[in-house]
């Protein structure tokens, strides 16, 4: 039972670790998570080459949502893009020196976006045209890829004269990604669909982009609130979790709601900078509520509710990550999909939740339908299990890949001191006592 004594310092250490971990582009729950951009030169042309660019999202739980990715780079020489399939440059730039054939883009630093679904087939290639949406690897690895093809002119026409593009930038769709320099890697080998022949790219280079929450936004974009059957206190999200209330920019009445709902969803800002957020003390677009609901003899039960406070945003393909030491013995998850994340072999305390297709994979805009919920049943490990010292609450929660602000450890709902001895000495008696107690108190 060493945990009781150290729970508080541990929680504090965790809190500090959060602050420190956000400073680097390193996510301890997904240490190898990255988006890799691969350029395969598949043929030389009279004045350059044709390349297929493939973006693969290897991040377990961070997807690219509406309005999709934007990729940029700087040409090292005077390259132009003659044509593109499956994506387009947002600006053509100054092509005035070209007569006859006019390039698709003459900018030295082109900015490229995906095409929308439903473009004509002759503008499509495999894995393109999804409006820039890319699933997370953990949720759907088959949809975690986005591709386009481009024909580059005024470039080299051999692997000795081609220069790699510089200074890649990726918006996904907001800030947060930092990309490495392009690096030549062994040429990709393609296998024909019948599996009987291999071909290979003339030349391949990779760029790796990693995410850092602190670069994405000054404030978190979600917060956690808590309650339990054993204490009627509801611990709210900390005030100003995602910025402080300013009733000039947040939504507080029905007339304002009507004026924003369903309007103008194409804001590129990620999360809380838009002005479609309901006025609350925490000002987060997303709140995750963890309710310790029931105590059985060998199991315990948690209800988790994710609430959307953003009137301008439907969160499609949302993901939620939770870290709690008892998740290695999770027995049942209602209404959500669940997948354990095991970044380190020694610990199995983290898992991702996401919605069931066509049922609750869209977290709807704020309002009566703007929430999704699940219940979890966890099997107790009697050596570590306790309701004491906030042990039953999560260590970390992420929504859509961003870490949520937690209440301070000393504000977690406490087990009333009279109940502690019961729970610890005889779990059976305590279960009955607590079940009775639970019925007297509000459930959320």
Ligand X SMILES: *[C@@H]1O[C@H](CO)[C@@H](O)[C@H](O)[C@H]1NC(C)=O
Q: Which residues bind ligand X (CB under 6 A)?
A: 32, 34, 36, 38, 54, 56, 58, 74, 159-160, 166-167, 185, 206, 208, 231, 233, 247, 262, 264-265, 312-314, 328-330, 340, 342, 348, 364-365, 379, 381, 411-414, 416
- The nearest distance, CB 101 to ligand X, in angstroms, is 26
Torsion of CA 400, 310, 223, 346, to 10 degrees: -10
Nearer to ligand X, 99 or 213 (CB): 213
Residue 51 CB: number of other CB atoms within 10 A? Answer: 25
Other C-beta atoms closer than 10 Å to the C-beta of 279 total 15
Task: Write down the least CB distance from residue 280 to ligand X, Å.
Answer: 12
The number of beta carbons lying within 10 Å of the beta carbon of residue 46 is 6
Alpha-carbon distance values, 224 to 15, 85, 272 (Å): 14, 43, 15
Nearer to ligand X, 146 or 217 (CB): 146
Q: How far is the CB of 47 from ligand X (least distance, A)?
A: 19
Closest CA to 135 of 340, 314, 370, 354: 354
Whole-number Å distance between alpha carbons of 224 and 241: 9
- Pairing, β 177-179 against β 319-323: unpaired
Least distance (Å) from ligand X to the CB of residue 50? 17
Nearer to ligand X, 102 or 259 (CB): 259
C-beta of 425: minimal distance to ligand X in Å? Answer: 18
Q: In what order do the strands lie in the sheet with 87-89?
A: 87-89, 111-114, 70-74, 166-171
Nearer to ligand X by C-beta: 117 or 416?
A: 416
Rounded Cα distance, 128 and 116, in Å: 9
Q: How many CB atoms lie within 10 A of CB 26?
A: 14
If the CB atoms of residues 14 and 67 are measured against ligand X, the closer one turns out to be 67
Give dist(CA 148, CA 262) in Å, integer: 30
Give whichever of 123 and 314 is closer to ligand X, judged by the CB atom. 314
As measured in angstroms, the least distance from the Cβ of 46 to ligand X is: 19
Q: Which is nearer to ligand X, 265 or 438 (CB)?
A: 265
Q: How far apart are CA 389 and CA 385, in angstroms?
A: 11
Q: Which residue is nearest to ligand X (CB)?
A: 262
Q: How far apart are CA 388 and CA 155, in angstroms?
A: 66
DSSP strands (E only) in 76-136: 80-85, 87-89, 111-114
Minimum Å gap between C-beta 203 and ligand X is 7
When the beta carbons of 122 and 347 are compared against ligand X, the nearer one is 347
Beta carbon of residue 329, minimum distance to ligand X (angstroms, whole number):
4
Q: How far apart are the C-alpha atoms of 374 and 371, rounded to whole Å?
A: 10
CB 104 to ligand X: min, Å: 21
Q: Name the residue nearer to ligand X (CB basis): 284 or 378.
A: 378
């Amino acid at each position: 039972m060493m945990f009781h004594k150290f729970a508080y310092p541990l929680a504090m250490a965790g809190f500090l670790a959060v602050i420190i971990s956000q400073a680097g582009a390193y996510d301890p729950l997904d240490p190898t998570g990255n988006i890799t951009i691969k350029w395969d030169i598949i043929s030389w042309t009279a004045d350059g080459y044709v390349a297929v660019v493939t973006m693969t999202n290897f991040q377990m739980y961070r997807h690219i949502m509406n309005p999709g990715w934007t990729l940029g780079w700087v040409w090292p020489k005077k390259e132009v893009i003659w044509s593109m399939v499956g994506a387009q440059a947002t600006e053509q730039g100054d092509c005035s020196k070209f007569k006859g054939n006019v390039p698709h883009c003459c900018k030295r630093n082109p900015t490229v976006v995906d095409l929308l679904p439903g473009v004509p087939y002759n503008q499509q290639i495999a894995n393109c045209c999804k409006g820039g949406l890319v699933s997370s690897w953990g949720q759907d690895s088959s949809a975690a890829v986005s591709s386009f093809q481009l024909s580059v002119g005024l470039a080299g026409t051999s692997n000795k004269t081609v220069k790699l593009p510089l200074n890649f930038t990726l918006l996904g769709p907001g800030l947060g990604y930092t990309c490495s320099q392009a690096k030549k890697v062994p040429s990709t080998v393609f296998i024909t669909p019948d599996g009987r022949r291999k071909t290979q790219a003339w030349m391949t280079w990779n760029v790796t982009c990693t995410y850092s929450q602190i670069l994405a936004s000054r404030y978190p974009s979600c917060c956690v609130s808590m309650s339990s059957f054993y204490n009627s206190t509801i611990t709210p999200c900390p005030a100003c979790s995602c910025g402080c209330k300013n009733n000039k920019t947040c939504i507080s009445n029905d007339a304002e709601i009507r004026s924003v709902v369903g309007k103008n969803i194409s804001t590129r800002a990620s999360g809380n900078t838009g002005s479609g957020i309901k006025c609350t003390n925490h000002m987060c677009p997303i709140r995750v509520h963890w309710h310790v609901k029931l105590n059985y003899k060998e199991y315990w039960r948690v209800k988790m509710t994710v609430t959307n406070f953003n009137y301008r945003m439907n969160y499609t393909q949302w993901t939620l990550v939770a870290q709690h030491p008892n998740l290695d013995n999770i027995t049942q998850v209602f209404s959500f999909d669940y997948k354990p994340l095991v970044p380190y072999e020694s610990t199995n305390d983290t898992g991702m939740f996401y919605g069931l297709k066509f049922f609750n994979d869209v977290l709807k805009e704020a309002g009566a339908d703007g929430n999704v919920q699940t219940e979890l049943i966890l099997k107790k490990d009697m050596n570590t299990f306790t309701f004491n010292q906030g042990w039953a609450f999560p260590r970390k929660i992420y929504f859509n890949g961003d870490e949520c602000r937690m209440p301070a450890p000393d504000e977690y709902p406490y087990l009333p001191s009279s109940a502690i001895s019961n729970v610890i000495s005889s779990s059976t008696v305590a279960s009955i006592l607590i079940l009775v107690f639970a019925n007297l108190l509000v459930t959320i």
